[in-house]
Amino acid sequence: MKNYLLLFLSFIISAVCLFYGCDKGQKADIQGDSDPLPVLTNRIQQCSKLYTTEYRIHKIVLVETEKKIESNFLGMGFNLPVGERKLIIPMEATLKGYIDFSNLKDDDITIDGDQVFVTLPDPEVELTSTRIDHDGTKQYVSWYLSNFNTAEQTAHAAKGRRDIINKLKNDKKQKQRIVESARESAANLLIPLISQMGFEEQNITIKFQREFSFDHLTILTD
Amino acid sequence: MKKENKNLIFGGTAIAAVIVIGAFLFNAVFSVIKDAAPKVEVTETTTIVETPNIIKSIRNIGQWEFLTINDEEVVERTHKNLILSDDYLVRIYYGTMRLGIDFQELKEKAVKVDGDSISLTLPPVKLLDDDFIDEALTKTFYESGTWDNASHKNMYNEARENMMKYGMSRENLQHTRELAEAQMRQLLQGLGFKRITILFESR
């Protein structure tokens, strides 16, 4: 009697598993793909950075999405546009050129009689902030489609931020302008300061360790 | 065991087997029909239009940063609905506060030199940037319902306010002053000064 009952139950269980098991597995996989909860950390760090130049960059992120119905009915493929959504996100990024004084070594400042020689570390550039213009953010959506939600807007703003950095990395002229202005500004700040300490301006020499490379662009909390 | 009971169990098992085999056949036939039927699907293509970086301003600055405070703030909003379930929006903001000295605020008579003695009066320690949130890095952790631009702006302001409370503490400002003093002392020693006095302007 027990054997028959076990056989009967195993039939039922295996049937249930066969028909529902796969679906459950897919759901589990999809859940596994979702972003984990970001770990929240607050850090306080000591540093010594002299920011000498500031760039403010304005960027407009334009996003267009088009919804279509695609079918291969009777062997004939067709695309039927059903609506579009457009999003405009104006944003502003601030980049700053700086000299990292924590890299300054003792022999980077030398005094020879009334002459002062200061060798500064290579300038670096950092993206210090981005700000979205919420008043200027607009979306145009066909009435039967859903608006861009907050998560979608966030994702497109992040792409805009990446585009700002990539464009700067690939634009040699702009790189050069930032480098020159970071260097000039550092000299304009330090020479008067050192001259106030009793040295003649013409006796102060400020130079940089090596050619600046924009590949050093550091990006905040990336 | 009675013969009637035995027949009942055999019968039950047979019916179960028939159900399972039938279900297998149905599934096989259905999947064949599904593959043969015309496919109709709704697709969405997203294009990000290339736009230039427009340099709005370039300016020379002289900000010396001594303390960096990285902060992450969770901000949430709820809309109460009368009939349907409530709407929620939870976002995580990332910011970096930079504390230091703005050398453009250095007074003309801030440096006094007398032989190998120097007295330097530095401007007060402050937050170097009012915009310190990297808003384009913000993460939307949970969202239900619809949220407008005013809500996003309002949440940004709340995140900024919370970060300021955390970062601009008396301890952090004092620590920044100590670091600034140590850094300046090292620099002045490098320039040959033996007796160094460093003061800070009061606000």
DSSP state of A21: H
The reported pLDDT for the residue numbered A33 is 36
Q: Read off the pLDDT of residues B92-150 as tens digits, 9 standing for 90 and up.
A: 999 999 999 998 898 888 889 888 899 999 999 999 999 999 999 999 999 999 999 99
Write out the two tokens for A200. Answer: 């003649």
Decide if pLDDT at A85 tops 90.
Answer: yes
Structurally, how many domains does chain A consist of?
A: 1
**Of A53-62, A99-108, A199-208, B49-58, which has the strongest mean pLDDT?**
A53-62
The reported pLDDT for the residue numbered B121 is 93
Q: Residue B136 and residue A158: Cβ atoms within 8 Å? A: yes
Q: Read off the pLDDT of residues B92-106 as tens digits, 9 standing for 90 and up.
A: 999 999 999 998 898
Cα separation of the two ends of chain B: 100
* Contact residues, chain B, for A14 at CB < 8 Å: 20
State how far the Cα of A154 lies from the Cα of A147, in Å rounded to an integer: 13
Greater confidence (B31 vs A183) lies with A183
Beta-strand pair A123-132/A218-219: parallel
Kindly report the nearest CA distance between residue A58 and chain B, in angstroms. Answer: 5
The reported pLDDT for the residue numbered A219 is 46
Decide if pLDDT at A221 tops 50.
Answer: no
Domain residue limits at A79: 4-220
Across A177-201, average pLDDT:
84
Kindly report the nearest CA distance between residue B133 and chain A, in angstroms. Answer: 5
Across A179-206, average pLDDT:
85
Cα B107 to the chain's mean position, in Å? Answer: 37
> Is the pTM for the entire model greater than 0.90?
no
Q: How does the average pLDDT of chain A come out, rounded?
A: 76
Greater confidence (A100 vs A179) lies with A100
